[in-house]
Amino acid sequence: MAVSSAVKIVPLGDKVVLKRQEAETKTAGGIVLPDSAQSKPQRGEVVAIGDGHTKSDGTKLPLTVKEGDKVIFSSYAGDEIKLGDETYLLLRESDILATY
């Protein structure tokens, strides 16, 4: 579950840590977009997962996503966290809409 050799992050419960995909810097027609016009992508790669959902009887249900999965998530989901020079997104598994 290590994010990098210098920094290790271990999400708890049903939380997932993602590395957001880089924003597009050019349009399909070749127009270069300034930073203010670039929208944050709703896609990313799972870099760490928690140990799962806790059911009402206390048993753990493992998460359906795994490290390395490429996912699409809700636009306002999660919290951005900065560790070292990298920025990650910490969100609940339920905020993930699909894998691809």
Instruction: Compute the distance between CA of residue 97 and CA of residue 81 in angstroms, rounded to an integer.
Output: 21
Q: Are 47 and 16 a contacting pair, CB within 8 Å?
A: no
The domains found in the chain, sorted by start residue, are 15-22+31-99 (2.30.33.40)
- pLDDT value at position 93? 95
pLDDT for 7-51, tens place per residue? 688 999 999 999 998 766 677 787 777 766 666 789 999 999 999
Name the pTM for this structure.
0.77
- pLDDT value at position 28? 75
Residue 45 C-beta-side C-alpha neighbours within 13 Å? 6
Strands in 96-99's sheet, in edge-to-edge order, are 79-83, 86-92, 15-20, 43-49, 70-73, 96-99
Q: What is the mean pLDDT of residues 69-91?
A: 92
Strand 43-49 vs strand 70-73: parallel, antiparallel, or unpaired? antiparallel
Token code pair at residue 35: 């930073």
- pLDDT value at position 84? 86
